[in-house]
């Protein structure tokens, strides 16, 4: 055989072998291609190697070089294809299918979150938007802007957690009233959920950090009728058809002020442990926004008026779900949370 023919054969072999090895669809096809081309006994590479013997001494180096190239290329294509097929078919991980099945476990929302979201939904339908404010506040936003006199007991270090240097942890969400009034032009309707902090020890009905929800509505011609009608509608939606009552109260930033009670849903008003025998559950503090608060925000209190409320969704969760101790809400005990999770 002359050199030219030998090289043509080597080219053809390399071409056909490459196609067969690269195109092997699975391990069996790859093995068949390996035997056909790289097989020790009747592989085509072997045959081409044997054909070298018939090449003249002068042409042998060139033919041998071409032979080696073709063989090396086919061997490496085989190795490559084998690796990729192995990777595709390897079992994901050793798994023991004889183990008993485990129950599906999904996270769920905390009872207080459920109450907050429900309340947000009700107020959204009434045209309120949801806003937020910072938990680290200045004394002015938390107290001064809200008409607290400088000697008010709430400012006492026994009640409020002051930060080193300046500022404090807000004791209620009411500072966000002022932040909202400064930022927007009436008509304003906002709902403000958020954490607040007080120097209260943990007990069955108090926690040092807890959620509050503030509501604020400011526009022309707003009166106490709007406050009562809106909050009654809210109570109706949250507690079902249920009676409410408003008791006179005091907050420096509202005038007049009231506490709103809802008839106890557990006993229907006859008195039980949940309502401590009174038949009523106190759910929020509210009142007409004090003109001084509006003026501090630069809003004309002759033209605009408004009402506000603040409530603790944990209190509502406690009475709604019959939770005997508020501390359970902070324990993250799945055995409890599972009973309420939706």
Q: Which residues bind ligand PHE (CB under 6 A)?
A: 172, 174, 214, 251, 254, 285-287, 308-310
* Shortest Å, Cβ 317 to ligand PHE: 17
Nearest residue (CB) to ligand PHE, 31 versus 200: 200
* Shortest Å, Cβ 258 to ligand PHE: 8
Exposed (0-12), middle (13-18) or buried (19+): which is 213, by Cβ within 10 Å?
Answer: buried
* Shortest Å, Cβ 240 to ligand PHE: 24
Nearest residue (CB) to ligand PHE, 9 versus 254: 254
CA distance 242 to 238: 9
Q: CB–CB of 226/187 below 8 Å?
A: no
Spatial neighbors of 54 by CB under 8 A, at least 6 apart, are 1
Q: Torsions phi, psi of 162, nearest 5?
A: -85, 145
Residue-wise DSSP of 192-227: EEEEEE-S---BTTB-SEEEEEEEEEEEET--HHHH
Nearest residue (CB) to ligand PHE, 191 versus 286: 286
Q: How many residues does the chain have?
A: 342
* Shortest Å, Cβ 225 to ligand PHE: 17
Nearest residue (CB) to ligand PHE, 54 versus 136: 136
Closest CB to ligand PHE: residue number: 310
* Shortest Å, Cβ 245 to ligand PHE: 16
SS3 264: coil
- The β-bridge partners of 137 are 168
* Shortest Å, Cβ 284 to ligand PHE: 7
Question: Strands, E, within the chain: which ranges?
Answer: 129-130, 136-137, 168-169, 188-197, 209-220, 244-251, 254-263, 280-289, 304-311
CA angle centred on 174, ends 316 and 283, rounded to 5°: 20
Nearest residue (CB) to ligand PHE, 194 versus 285: 285
Nearest residue (CB) to ligand PHE, 24 versus 213: 213
């Amino acid at each position: 055989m002359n050199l030219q023919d030998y090289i043509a054969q080597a080219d053809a072999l390399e071409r056909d072998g490459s196609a067969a090895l690269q195109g092997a669809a699975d391990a069996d096809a790859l093995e068949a291609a390996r035997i056909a081309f790289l097989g020790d006994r009747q592989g085509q590479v072997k045959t081409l190697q044997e054909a070298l013997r018939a090449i003249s001494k002068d042409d042998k180096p060139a033919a041998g070089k071409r032979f080696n190239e073709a063989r090396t290329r086919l061997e490496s294509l085989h190795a490559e294809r084998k690796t990729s097929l192995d990777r595709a078919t390897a079992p994901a991980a050793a798994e023991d299918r004889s183990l008993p099945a485990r129950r599906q476990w999904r996270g769920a929302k905390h009872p207080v979150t459920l109450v907050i979201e429900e309340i947000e939904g009700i107020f959204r339908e009434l045209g309120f938007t949801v806003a937020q404010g910072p938990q680290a506040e200045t004394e002015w936003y938390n107290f001064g802007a809200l008409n607290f006199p400088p000697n008010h007991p709430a400012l006492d270090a026994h009640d409020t957690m002051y930060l080193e240097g300046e500022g404090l942890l807000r004791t209620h969400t009411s500072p966000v009233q002022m932040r909202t009034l400064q930022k927007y032009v009436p008509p304003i309707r906002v709902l403000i959920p958020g954490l607040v902090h007080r120097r209260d020890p943990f007990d069955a009905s108090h926690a040092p950090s807890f959620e509050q929800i503030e509501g604020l509505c400011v526009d022309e011609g707003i009166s106490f009728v709007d406050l009562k009608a809106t909050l009654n509608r809210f109570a109706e939606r949250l507690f079902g058809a249920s009676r409410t009552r408003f008791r006179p109260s005091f907050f420096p930033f509202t005038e007049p002020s009231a506490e709103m009670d809802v008839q106890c849903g557990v006993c229907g008003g006859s008195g039980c442990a949940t309502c401590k025998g009174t038949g009523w559950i106190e759910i929020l503090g509210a009142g007409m926004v004090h003109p001084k608060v509006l003026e501090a925000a630069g809003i004309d209190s002759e033209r605009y008026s408004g009402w506000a409320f603040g409530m603790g969704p944990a209190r509502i969760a406690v009475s709604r779900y019959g939770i005997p101790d508020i501390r359970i809400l902070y324990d993250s005990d799945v055995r409890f949370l599972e009973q309420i999770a939706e």
